[in-house]
Structure 1
Amino acid sequence: MSTADPLTNDTQAPSASRVHHPALRFRLAIGLTGMLLASLLAILNEQVTAFAMADIQGALSIGHDDGTWLTTLFEAANVATMVFAPWFGITFTLKRFTIGAVLATMLFGFLCPLAPNLSTLYVLRVLQGIAGGCLPPMLIIVALRYLPPKIKLYGLAGYAMTATFGPALGTPLAALWTEYVDWRLAFWQIVPLGIVCCVAIQRGLPDDPLKLERFRSFNWTGFLSGCPAIAMLVTGLLQGDRLDWLNSDFICVMLIGGTALLAVFLVNEWFHPLPFFKLQLLSRRNFSHGLTTLAGAVILLVGVAAIPGQHLARIHAYRPLQAAPLSLLVALPLLVALPLTAALLNLKRVDSRWVMATGLCLMIATCAMGSFMTSEWIRDDFYLLQCLQIAAQPMLILAILMGVTTGLPPTEGPFASAMFNSVKTFSAAVATALIEGIGTHRERFHSNVLVDQLGNRTFIAHQGMDTAQLAQLAHRVHEQALVLMSADLYRVMACVAVALLLLVPVLPVRIYPPWTATPPSSK
């Protein structure tokens, strides 16, 4: 039986019986584990500092508005770097580049709490965002390059772990450091893990020759248009709600200017002989579907994960320590759910499209149940919703990864990694902006409706209510508006999940596990 060309057709015919796949050597496995830990280090550094930001601001006497820039600058640098990191990783070799990025992330993280002033801290956060953004893309490249087809999906499950398990650990670790140890450890926690990463990568990954000659054809137009474009768009998205979106000249410049530069970047990438994004890969139906679904899935997962914590913090004044069990309930079982889902997708008779559809249905069920929340809901009321995430997240993320990477030769890995990671991290910024923007709008809407229903203050005062009672009533109105806003956010997330579900039977085509077809040559 013949096999379709993996570069031109998504379908594969099973022919595993005639193919011999090399086993994974122990030393190489150590190197791949180091790459996995490096990617996890980057995610933990990002998430833990974000959840501990209130304590960090308090310890450094930083106001709220100034504090928002600590996150915005980090994220803008982080997302922009992921576009270009694979190119530099191939040029300087995966081993050298990853070890250098880990050491830089550790160094800047160690220096952040020691910054003498706010301006220095901003610079350190930008530099740490650049260094941290180099790490996750390397994991997909080495997985496609070194993993035997039989266990490739398990390697992708490792990447999925950094995208699901890593963020879920953010709240518990932030609570541990800020409540029981020292807020500085939100930055310093990565140092021991980083040392382990460097040792494992140095001992495990093979030595490749430097390819500095690639700089002769460096894509300067793409770099000089793409880097500021992504940074401007992320900045505009993350600061938009605080600065009132298009009513702010700064946000208009960020969004409109970023969009124009992004258009220049994409046109250049289409025609450049050595691009950062190989847009021609979008002609593969499963690749284009994977990136489209990835964008929606990240918005969905970020939104569904954020709503419970936001509700508990704003309604019941939960701190990270009190919300930590909710995150741990998802994080720990994922260590089992991810390899089990990989094993399921590795079966020839299992269609990954329906695994994805099942995950989306579970997400829809989660959002539907969450839309009935009330002000009485506490942490225990979210446990059932979180349990559904344990099954839904691996099904969704691994099915997407399988669709994007199946049929790609190792030579296409850097392009796939750049596009996949850039879409993932940019979509997370979009999700944050969406939650904040819609949340603010719906909260104001519900507040106005509730106030109109109660009548004006003069009428209420005539009913014999004193100032204390009026304040209590205002608090109850605000609380109820927040609850209704959270329920609306669940409904918005449900609409996103339904839209993704409708794409499943239309856009992607059937694919088989990597081991069922002759692996592409790495030469």
Structure 2
Amino acid sequence: MSEAIATPRIHVSKTTPTPFTLRVSIGLMGVLIAVLVSGFNEHVTDIDLADIKGILGISYDEGTWFTAIYEAFQISAMAFAPWCSVTFSLRKFTITMISIFALMAFLAPFMPNLNSLYVLRSIQGFAGGSLPPMLMTVALRYLPPKIKIYGLGAYALTATCGPNLATSIAAYSFEYFGWKAVFWEAIPLSLLSIALIAYGIPQDPLRLERFRQFNWSGLLLGFPAISMIVIGLIQGDRLDWFNSPLICHLLVGGVFLFIMFLINEWFHPLPFFRIQMLKSCNLSFSLISLSVVLVLSVANMDLASSYLIEIREYRPLQLVPMTLIVAIPQLIALPLVAAFCNIKHVDCRWVLAGGLGLMILSSYGGTFITSDWYGGNFYLLQMLQVFGQPMAVISILMLATIGLAPTDGPFVSGMFNMLKGFSNIIAIGLISFMETWREHTHSHHLLDHYGSSHFVLANLNRHPESLQMLAKSVKDQATVLTIADINLVMIGIASVLLIFIPLVATRIYPPFLNNISKSNSPS
């Protein structure tokens, strides 16, 4: 069995390393643009979903499936795209997926009915989800050791800066160019990325012989498993979680199939995931850490946006300054953090701890929220994320990837990106669950308090119209208390991870000093 598992590695290692040149760097830039565009489109359509539903006549329930189907196919694709990139060649596969993605974006406004739009979104989701794994793959394969960490910083850009920039793109696309631009904004940059990749990424030979050992069982188990879990988490709050037979079947069945998928991957001679790699403490810890950091990042932005939209009735255009405060400075912070971590005497574990500390401090500040806050009150909390997120993500990527062979890139990128997608959905599900639960709890307590007040009851008897004002006041205050509660939960989750950093993770050195790390015992 061990010989069978090692077969793909031996075959791939015969590929001659490609020298890093200006032309290759242009190709890498094309892949980065493609991944950013994929992320932009995902978030832009979510942000402008209310306007899209109104224009197309889509109900609230139908709109949730508009998002759920896209996310399910996107995250599923992340698991299987690395195998496709090796088989069909990274260059051809990436260009094909970008082309399909752009074509679906162009056709979206012309769909004759909702079902056809669902089909289009599923195809676009699969194409968009196939792109993020390519960025980590090319960074591990082509970048020389001295600058490899900057490639990891570029990947971190897609996880931290990209989602925040999407709010600005969504706002300006809809407000100034109309609803069709919400879909079409992806087309120009997609065409640019195709040109850059076609010019810069070397063409590998096709390896269609891999189909002789194609992992059919992994595909038939993994694709529905991931899709079922994602849809269950997205639709869970709307359908009242396990009180809904549909959610029970999706989550329980999805988890069962996913466990079977992992067992299959362990024994298959040509797996999509090399599960044996999880024996590395640093890789396993990094995957868990990435999940926590992404949950914290999503919660930080979603809670602030939720408050401003629900309490202050902000439009997406009014959220732009707050999101740009996080996004734009990270264009400087990411390379600075990467350069800092590339120093021999810097232990990236403590950089990770520092990043988590800043994110915890941001969440702690959010616990002091009141109904009098406005957009400006969130600026300082968002600024803490500017360095906190890059410090955490780049350190995690270093812990996971330093010391891996280029041939391990497809396996690691598949695991990382699938988990990245899962983390975003878990964050949305967790926040939705806590918002519903805590808001109901606080609303009941507030209504009990007001109901026992003789002054309030007397005022309602004299002025019945004040009942509407009371209802709004209760809802606003319950929302504020809920946001404070969720911030406390985020602090607890991050603190647990902070404790485990020195206990689990081992010291690693920058890529060009990796030979030193092999002669040092874990500290």
TM-score scaled by structure 1? 0.94
TM superposition shift of 1:518: 5.2
TM superposition shift of 1:180: 1.6
The aligned runs of 1:156-167 (5 Å cut-off) are: 156-167=152-163
User: In the superposition, relative to structure 1, how do residues 374 and 515 fare at CA in structure 2: closer, same or farther (>3 Å)?
Assistant: same
TM superposition shift of 1:461: 3.8
The answer to whether the 8 Å contact 2:77/2:129 transfers is yes
The aligned runs of 1:400-419 (5 Å cut-off) are: 400-419=396-415
Compare relative contact order (CA 8 Å, sep 6+) and give the higher one, 1 or 2: 1
Q: 1:306 aligns with which of 302, 306, 314?
A: 302
SS in 2 for 1:506: helix
Specify the code of the residue in structure 2 equivalent to 1:88: C
TM superposition shift of 1:465: 3.8
SS in 2 for 1:145: helix
Specify the code of the residue in structure 1 equivalent to 2:228: M
CA distance in 2, matches of 1:249, 1:45: 32
Specify the code of the residue in structure 1 equivalent to 2:217: T
The aligned runs of 1:40-439 (5 Å cut-off) are: 40-439=36-435
Cα RMSD between the aligned structures?
A: 1.7
Higher mean alpha-carbon deviation, 21-30 vs 381-390, is at: 21-30
Q: 2:511 aligns with which of 511, 514, 518?
A: 514
The Cα offsets for residues 380-402 of structure 1, whole Å up to 9 and x where unpaired, read as 00000011010101000000111
Count matched residues.
Answer: 501
CA distance in 1, matches of 2:455, 2:235: 39
TM superposition shift of 1:459: 8.3
Q: 1:39 aligns with which of 35, 40, 44?
A: 35
The answer to whether the 8 Å contact 2:44/2:169 transfers is yes
TM superposition shift of 1:457: 9.5
SS in 2 for 1:467: coil
2:481 corresponds in structure 1 to 484
CA distance in 1, matches of 2:178, 2:451: 49
CA distance in 1, matches of 2:82, 2:165: 26
The answer to whether the 8 Å contact 2:309/2:315 transfers is yes
Specify the code of the residue in structure 2 equivalent to 1:129: G
TM superposition shift of 1:517: 2.8
The Cα offsets for residues 425-468 of structure 1, whole Å up to 9 and x where unpaired, read as 01110000000001110000000011111126998444544221
Q: 2:497 aligns with which of 481, 500, 503?
A: 500
SS in 2 for 1:354: helix
SS in 1 for 2:112: coil
CA distance in 1, matches of 2:375, 2:306: 11
CA distance in 1, matches of 2:462, 2:447: 16
SS in 1 for 2:300: helix
TM superposition shift of 1:500: 1.3
The answer to whether the 8 Å contact 1:22/1:148 transfers is no
The answer to whether the 8 Å contact 1:304/1:493 transfers is no
The Cα offsets for residues 317-359 of structure 1, whole Å up to 9 and x where unpaired, read as 1110011110011111010000000000000000000000000
CA distance in 1, matches of 2:179, 2:495: 41
Runs (4 or more) in structure 1 with deviation over 4 Å come to 456-460
2:25 corresponds in structure 1 to 29
TM-score scaled by structure 2? 0.94
CA distance in 2, matches of 1:313, 1:448: 23
Specify the code of the residue in structure 2 equivalent to 1:499: V
The answer to whether the 8 Å contact 1:367/1:491 transfers is yes
Specify the code of the residue in structure 2 equivalent to 1:484: L
TM superposition shift of 1:102: 0.2
1:471 corresponds in structure 2 to 468
CA distance in 2, matches of 1:449, 1:378: 25
TM superposition shift of 1:52: 1.1
Identity %: 49
Extract unaligned runs of 5+ from structure 1. 1-6, 8-20
1:453 aligns with 2:446: no
TM superposition shift of 1:24: 2.9
CA distance in 2, matches of 1:249, 1:356: 41
